[in-house]
Amino acid sequence: MRPRAWPVPPVPEDTGPGLTAMVTAATQLLTQAGVPSPRHDAVAIAAHLLGLPTLSLVTAGPPPDGFARSYAEAVDRRRRREPLQHIVGSTAFRYVTLLVEPGVFVPRPETEVLAGLAVDEVRALAAGGLAPLVVDLCCGAGPIGVSVAVETSATVVMVDRSTQAVDLAARNARACDRPQVSAVVGDVRDPQLLSELTGRVDVLTANPPYIPPDAEPVDPEVRDHDPDLALYGGGVDGLDLPRAVLQAAARLLRPGGLLLMEHAEVQAQAVRADAAATAGFIGIRTEPDLTGRPRLLVARRTAGTGSAA
């Protein structure tokens, strides 16, 4: 008996390249452009346009009409070193996915360590029966404040000088369904900032701008797309705004309250010295970030005002 002939579906003549071929070509293009993670980004852009998790691309069928063109356009934006997060409109941070948009600093994975230390402190306080209050200065899109609110029961107040950042942080908080976190416009240099919370804050977090004026970032994604307001800390050493955070923390933290502040690797010693010179802190130390670099100031508010340890 002759084997049964199964009907073979007709192959359209103009299918164009399949998804795998398109992702491979995009990877090559992004490699040539010096993009640090070309394959990852090529896959992430495809998944974003198809509305699929990246893992599902393996089993995805043929891409829909118009995909090849929109994929080429999006890959070209990445080739010109627009941040991946601007192209896909979001970024992952600890347990949340945050909206990201041009004009607001893109949250970095390194900052997850700072958020984690804040979460640990809040949980320890809550276990002791307290209802902790957290202030996140220079909040940007809200990665620290929103994470603390999602992972703990703390009340969180986020502050930024940029109205666009505050609006985005508030949208991120709403998207995570966290009514106990609010976002307000304010300047960390203002001695009246959050004056109603003076001496009442349990944990104060900040990832302020800290780049010195003569140290232009090398990566085009940062140099050309993060706002200057988010990068440059002011003063010859870039530490004017971090010093303003220290002043605000000394005023806002309750006795025993915890300060957590990110800075550049080379600034660890100077920031510790600034904290020591700012009345009211003890237990001043530097913790490593995700990559092991010393980038995180930790200090506690003394019990009495005006006595630095």
Ligand X SMILES: C[S@@+](CC[C@H](N)C(=O)[O-])C[C@H]1O[C@@H](n2cnc3c(N)ncnc32)[C@H](O)[C@@H]1O
Binding site for ligand X (CB under 6 A): 105, 107, 111, 138-141, 143-144, 160-162, 165, 187-189, 207-209, 229-230, 241
Contacts of 57 (CB under 8 A, 6+ apart): 19, 23, 43, 46, 47, 50
- Least separation in angstroms between residue 193's CB and ligand X is 8
By beta-carbon distance, which residue lies closest to ligand X?
Answer: 140
Contact 273, 239 (CB under 8 A): no
The torsion of the CA quartet 36, 41, 43, 45, rounded to 10 degrees, works out to -160
- Least separation in angstroms between residue 194's CB and ligand X is 11
74 or 100, CB closer to ligand X? 100
170 or 188, CB closer to ligand X? 188
Alpha-carbon span 134 to 146, nearest angstrom: 11
24 or 103, CB closer to ligand X? 103
209 or 238, CB closer to ligand X? 209
SS3 annotation, 14-62: CCCCCHHHHHHHHHHHHHHCCCCCHHHHHHHHHHHHHCCCHHHHHHCCC
Q: Are strands 90-93 and 96-99 parallel, antiparallel or unpaired?
A: antiparallel
Q: Which of 209, 211, 163, 156 is nearest to 186 (CA)?
A: 163
175 or 308, CB closer to ligand X? 175
30 or 258, CB closer to ligand X? 258
- Least separation in angstroms between residue 92's CB and ligand X is 13
- Least separation in angstroms between residue 204's CB and ligand X is 12
Alpha-carbon span 294 to 264, nearest angstrom: 8
49 or 261, CB closer to ligand X? 261
- Least separation in angstroms between residue 149's CB and ligand X is 14
Q: Are strands 294-301 and 281-288 parallel, antiparallel or unpaired?
A: antiparallel
What are the C-alpha distances in Å from 167 to residues 60, 104, 160, 187, 272? 36, 10, 10, 15, 32
- Least separation in angstroms between residue 127's CB and ligand X is 26
- Least separation in angstroms between residue 146's CB and ligand X is 10
Q: Cα 215 from chain centroid?
A: 21
